Amino acid sequence: TPEEVRAAGSAYRVYASRGPADEDGDYLVDHSVLIYLLGPDGLLLDFYGRGKSARDIARSVRRHMDTYRPLPLGEQ
């Protein structure tokens, strides 16, 4: 639902704003430009902005994969 989308955006501190509609009713959305890395348990591991290169992101993802440890049962 729209409310769930807003709640998810808020939880991840995403900025989004609908621009004015044109004469056809079309509009643009201004929003955060981030990539989020979530672990297999759904928890946020890292995020990457526009300043990160593909090499930086790949290195970070590999590091997270190498060091990932699942949460003990009951803490998920």
Q: Domain of 42?
A: 33-70
- Whole-model pTM: value is 0.68
Helix, strand or coil for residue 23?
coil
Q: How far apart are the first and last CA of the chain?
A: 25
- Per-residue pLDDT of 33-69, as tens digits, reads 999 999 998 889 999 999 999 999 999 999 999 999 8
64 among the known binding-site residues? no
Tokens representing 35 are 């990539």
Domain count, the chain: 2
Torsion angle of alpha carbons 71, 72, 73, 76, nearest 10°?
Answer: -30
Is 10 inside any structural domain? yes
- Per-residue pLDDT of 18-29, as tens digits, reads 999 999 999 999
Residues 25 and 38 in one domain: no
Residues 9 and 37 in one domain: no
Residues 8 and 18 in one domain: yes
Give the pLDDT band of residue 12 (cuts 50, 70, 90): confident
Is 54 inside any structural domain? yes
Is 76 inside any structural domain? no
CB-based burial, 12-28: b 16+ in 10 Å, e otherwise = eeeeeeeeeeeeeeeee
Residues 65 and 44 in one domain: yes
Residue 76: pLDDT over 70: no
